[in-house]
Amino acid sequence: MRALTFLARRFVAGDTVDDALEAVRALNADGIKATLDNLGEDSLTRAQALAAAEQNLLMLRRIAETGVDANISLKLTQLGLAFDEGLCRESLLKIVEEAARRKNFVRIDMEGSAWTQKTLDLFYSLHDAHPNVGIVLQSMLRRSEGDAREAAARGARVRLVKGAYKEPHAIAYPTKDEVNAAYDRCAALLAKAPLPAFGTHDDARIDAALKACDAAGLVKTDYEIQMLYGLRAKRWRELRAAGHTVRVYVPYGSHWFPYFYRRLRERKENLLFVLRNLFE
Ligand X SMILES: Cc1cc2nc3c(=O)[nH]c(=O)nc-3n(C[C@H](O)[C@H](O)[C@H](O)COP(=O)(O)OP(=O)(O)OC[C@H]3O[C@@H](n4cnc5c(N)ncnc54)[C@H](O)[C@@H]3O)c2cc1C
Q: Which residues form the catalytic set? A: 109, 159
Please state whether beta strands 106-108 and 70-74 pair in parallel, antiparallel, or not at all (unpaired). parallel
Q: Rounded to whole angstroms, how far apart are CA atoms 96 and 32?
A: 23
The yes or no reply on residue 259 touching ligand X (CB under 6 A) is: no
Is 144 a residue that touches ligand X (CB under 6 A)? no
Of 162, 102, 97, the C-alpha closest to 131 is: 97
268 binds ligand X (CB under 6 A): no
What is the closest distance, in whole angstroms, from the C-beta atom of residue 273 to ligand X in the complex?
A: 9
Nearer to ligand X, 47 or 133 (CB): 133
Q: Is 133 in the site for ligand X (CB under 6 A)?
A: no
* Interface with ligand X, residue 253, by CB under 6 A: no
Task: Report the residue number, 126 or 225, with the smaller CB distance to ligand X.
Answer: 225
CA distance 28 to 31: 5
Q: Is 109 in the site for ligand X (CB under 6 A)?
A: yes
Interface with ligand X (CB under 6 A), residue from 226, 245, 250, 264:
226
- Contact window for ligand X (CB under 6 A) among 15-23, 122-130, 208-216, 222-230: 222-230
The residue (of 65 and 203) whose beta carbon lies closer to ligand X is 203
Residue 176-205 contact track with ligand X, rule CB under 6 A, x = bound: -----------------------xxxx--x
Reference 115, options 152, 85, 160; nearest CA is 85
For position 161 contacting ligand X by CB under 6 A, the verdict is yes
Single-letter amino acid, residue 18: D
Residues 6+ apart with CB under 8 A from 53: 79, 91, 94, 95
H helix and E strand count, the chain: 11, 8
* Residue-level length of the chain: 280
Using CA atoms, how far apart are residues 165 and 123, in angstroms rounded to an integer?
20
Please classify residue 124 by burial: count the beta carbons closer than 10 Å to its beta carbon, then call 0-12 exposed, 13-18 middle and 19+ buried. Answer: middle
C-alpha–C-alpha distance, residues 11 and 257, integer Å: 11
Of all helices (H) and strands (E), which one includes residue 241? helix 233-241
**C-alpha–C-alpha distance, residues 178 and 275, integer Å:** 30
26 closest CA partner among 69, 63, 87, 57: 69
Least Å from the CB of residue 221 to ligand X: 18
Q: Under rule CB under 6 A, how many of the chain's residues touch ligand X?
A: 22
The nearest distance, CB 219 to ligand X, in angstroms, is 21
Q: Which listed range, 13-21, 52-60, 81-89, 156-164, lies at the site for ligand X (CB under 6 A)?
A: 156-164
30 lines the binding site for ligand X (CB under 6 A): no
Alpha helices in 131-228 (DSSP H): 144-154, 176-190, 203-215
Is 240 a binding residue for ligand X by CB under 6 A? The answer is: no
Name the residue nearer to ligand X (CB basis): 2 or 244: 244
Q: Is 249 in the site for ligand X (CB under 6 A)?
A: yes
Q: Which stretch binds ligand X (CB under 6 A): 14-22, 117-125, 157-165, 215-223?
A: 157-165
* Shortest Cβ 36–ligand X spacing (Å): 12
| Residues in contact with ligand X by the rule CB under 6 A | 109-110, 136, 138, 161-165, 199-202, 205, 226-228, 231-232, 249, 266-267
